[in-house]
Amino acid sequence: MQIIQKITPCMWFDGQAEEAAKFYTSIFHNSKIGTTSHYGEAGQEVHGNPAGSVLTVAFELDGQTFTALNGGPMYKFNEAISFQVKCETQEEVDHYWEKLSEDGDEKAQQCGWLKDKFGASWQIIPLVLIEMMIDPDHEKSQRVFAAMLQMKKIDIAELERAYAG
């Protein structure tokens, strides 16, 4: 077996691994579902899943590999880990925001961050935001930062107005 990517995020689900992989691959271009493994008879006293149920689903989002694991209800996603989606245009920001936030936690939306319907956190970040935030002109970058703090979904035109002063 050839290792394509050395580090692969593994996302823990409670019976939703296959549904999540299908959801995510429907949103991102250059994405696909790979192999699926299933629980067997071994270890049922530990994992409690019926033989034949989905254990893992390998999938790719825009060429980045992921693993979805049906591990059970013990662990939940939290904001300590998020996935950044870097966007070149407002249309991209809008697309990823709309799709990933569908049926998600609206209370968790702030500064380009959102929680999807599975509880995973995502940052939908236009590249221009990063460029403006690292501008050596402190006044410009601070105006952009202040504007971003007022947003849920990032609005590039509003950031550009703040940047221009």
Q: Model pTM?
A: 0.92
CATH 3.40.309.10 fits 82-164, yes or no: no
Mean pLDDT of 72-100: 96
Q: Which residues contact 19 (CB under 8 A, 6 or more apart)?
A: none
Q: Which pLDDT score is estimated for 44? A: 78
Which residue in 71, 63, 67, 55 sits closest to 31, CA to CA? 63
DSSP 73: T
Per-domain boundaries in the chain: 10-70, 82-164
- Assign 1 a pLDDT band (cuts: 50, 70, 90): low
Q: Read off the pLDDT of residues 95-123 as tens digits, 9 standing for 90 and up.
A: 999 999 999 999 999 999 999 999 999 99
Reply yes or no on whether the pLDDT at 2 is more than 70: no
Could you say which architecture CATH assigns to the domain 10-70?
A: 2-Layer Sandwich (3.30)
